[in-house]
Chains A and B, each alone.
Chain A
Amino acid sequence: MVASGSSNTNPARIPALGIRALVFIALSLLLMVLDHRQHYLDLVRQTLGAVVYPIQVVVDSPFRLWDWIGESSRSRQELQLELSRLQAERLITNARLQKLTALEAENARLRDLLEARSQVRDEIRVTEIMAVDANPFRHSIIIDVGQRDAVYDGQAIVDAAGVVGQVIQTGLTTSQALLISDPSHALPVEVNRNGLRTIAKGTGELDRLDLPFLPNNADIEVGDLLVTSGLGGMFPAGYPVAVVTTVNRIPQEPFADVSATPAASLDQVREVMLIWPSPGGDSAGAGNE
């Protein structure tokens, strides 16, 4: 706590160091209280994010360049092979889609009969994961879309195989997303086979989710597919989440020990899809793609 006038003459004394430190520590505490959970400081975050963004872009760009070089230096033969593979895949997917259209129509009719709200197709956008490491304390990724692109907190992220995670912080041009494997993440799911509802919790390991609250007599088997149930209100229903890998029924414990492997390859994805759930309740069948 030195703030005397003579401090300038003494090279060992930094003027008012203690007071300044206290002020900044108090400021940090204030910021943390305001930021944690309430999100009062989104504007501050965005402003500082504009300073950080160029740094992230610079770090990300060599990886992009490498990808681009890899893409553009492939031989004609390789490209033709991939082209034919993709065409075959497209044919198969299209064939499946034909069936899906019929099924969707049938589903809509049946739902009409039951006077249930009809499900409309969700809007989807493909985005890239930036090659930037984020929060060391959490399983998170940074994607290169933000509020500019109408991304919002809690938005669901999937890849081609299943659910990846959800957006937890939106900047102007980038957003941070929490993976489903994070220990603080829990996701309402149901067993696709019989509609048994439960919760899939992250464990901190990329290839394992826990299903902690299933009683010993629950109808669940190894190989069961878990899909989102849509009950949390965050994730749209029906997206694959994980496949059950182990079921340990321990007689003296109240709950069975069940774990599952995420369907999405959480550590390998480079491109993910953001989902805007369709506003339910409006007219039937009108798919807004």
Chain B
Amino acid sequence: MSSYGAARLPVIVTIIVALMLTVVPLPDAAEPFRPDWIALTLIYWAMMLPRTWSVGSAWFVGLLLDVAQGTILGQHALALCVVVFVTVRFHLLMRVFPMQQLTATIFALLALYQFVLFWINGVAGINVATIHYWAPVLAGTVLWPVVTMLLSGIRMRTYSGR
């Protein structure tokens, strides 16, 4: 019980930090390459603590992201829901993947995330340059090892030694 139920605060803090990184201004040239911090963070926690951080929390965080960015309400919520669902479904498998294979999986998940966003934009009739879809996927994949390292640091410190 203690490993799943207790101590949600550290995770919430990481999600808030991810939200901040999502809205912090970047130089125009780097802007398309902003990784999907929220997606990376939620994938990690869904993989490690799937009983606490699953589709429901992903959906709520997605709504917050929609409000923060002013996108259609439910767009990011849906995309995060789908990605986190896949992650939770295969979380045991993903935990034992070696790093390269896991990174490849993350690439696929982020691509799925962007595809859902792309699809919704298409239905809603919003035109976006293609770079805005694939650049975050690449950036997110490249940064995944760093994100895991940081988040496992937090996880080890908080959820072990009980």
Say yes or no for B73: interface residue by CB 8 A criterion: yes
Q: For the complex, is A21 an interface residue (Cβ under 8 Å from B)?
A: yes
Interface status of A137 (Cβ within 8 A of chain B): yes
A40 CB, min distance to chain B CBs, angstroms: 10
| Residues on A with beta carbons closer than 8 Å to the beta carbon of B31 | 133, 136
Q: Are A35 and B126 in contact (CB under 8 A)?
A: no
- Contact A59–B23 (Cβ < 8 Å): yes
Q: Do B68 and A52 touch across chains, with their CB atoms under 8 A apart?
A: yes
Given A52-B68, A135-B70, A137-B71, A28 and B26 touching (CB < 8 A)? no
Shortest CB distance A280–B (Å): 31
Task: Decide if A32 touches B70 in the complex (CB within 8 Å).
Answer: no
Task: Assess whether B59 is in contact with A27, with CB atoms less than 8 Å apart.
Answer: yes
| CB pair B25 A133 closer than 8 Å | yes
Which listed residue, B16, B62, B70, B128, touches A55 by the CB 8 Å rule?
B16
B interface: dominant SS: helix
Nearest neighbor of A37 in chain B, beta-carbon distance: B124
A134 at the interface (CB under 8 A from B): yes
Interface size class of A (residues with CB under 8 A): 35 or more
A-B contact count (CB 8 A): 128
Tell whether, in the assembled complex, residue A17 and residue B72 are in contact, meaning their CB atoms are under 8 Å apart. no
Contact B51 A134, beta carbon cutoff 8 Å: no
Is B11 located at the chain interface by the 8 A CB criterion? no
Among B51, B69, B73, B85, the residue within 8 A (CB) of A44 is B73
| A142-177 interface bits toward B, Cβ cutoff 8 Å, 1 = contact, 0 = none | 100000000000000000000000001100000010
Which of A14, A18, A63 makes the CB contact (< 8 A) with B50?
A14
Residues on A with beta carbons closer than 8 Å to the beta carbon of B26 = 133
| Chain A contacts for B58, CB-based, 8 A | 24
Contact between A28 and B77, CB atoms less than 8 A apart: yes
Q: In the bound complex, how far is the Cα of B34 from the Cα of A48, in angstroms?
A: 23
For B100-135 the 0/1 string (1 means CB < 8 A from A) is 000000000000000001001100111111001000
The chain B residue with its CB closest to the CB of A52 is B68
B10 contacts partner chain A, Cβ-Cβ < 8 Å? no
Contacts of A44 in B (CB 8 A): 73
What are 15 contact pairs spanning A and B, CB under 8 A? A17-B89, A24-B55, A24-B58, A25-B78, A28-B81, A29-B74, A29-B78, A32-B73, A32-B75, A48-B67, A51-B64, A58-B20, A133-B34, A135-B69, A138-B126
Other than the given A24-B81, A45-B73, A131-B25, 10 more pairs (CB < 8 A) read: A14-B50, A17-B89, A32-B124, A49-B67, A51-B67, A132-B25, A136-B32, A137-B121, A140-B70, A184-B126
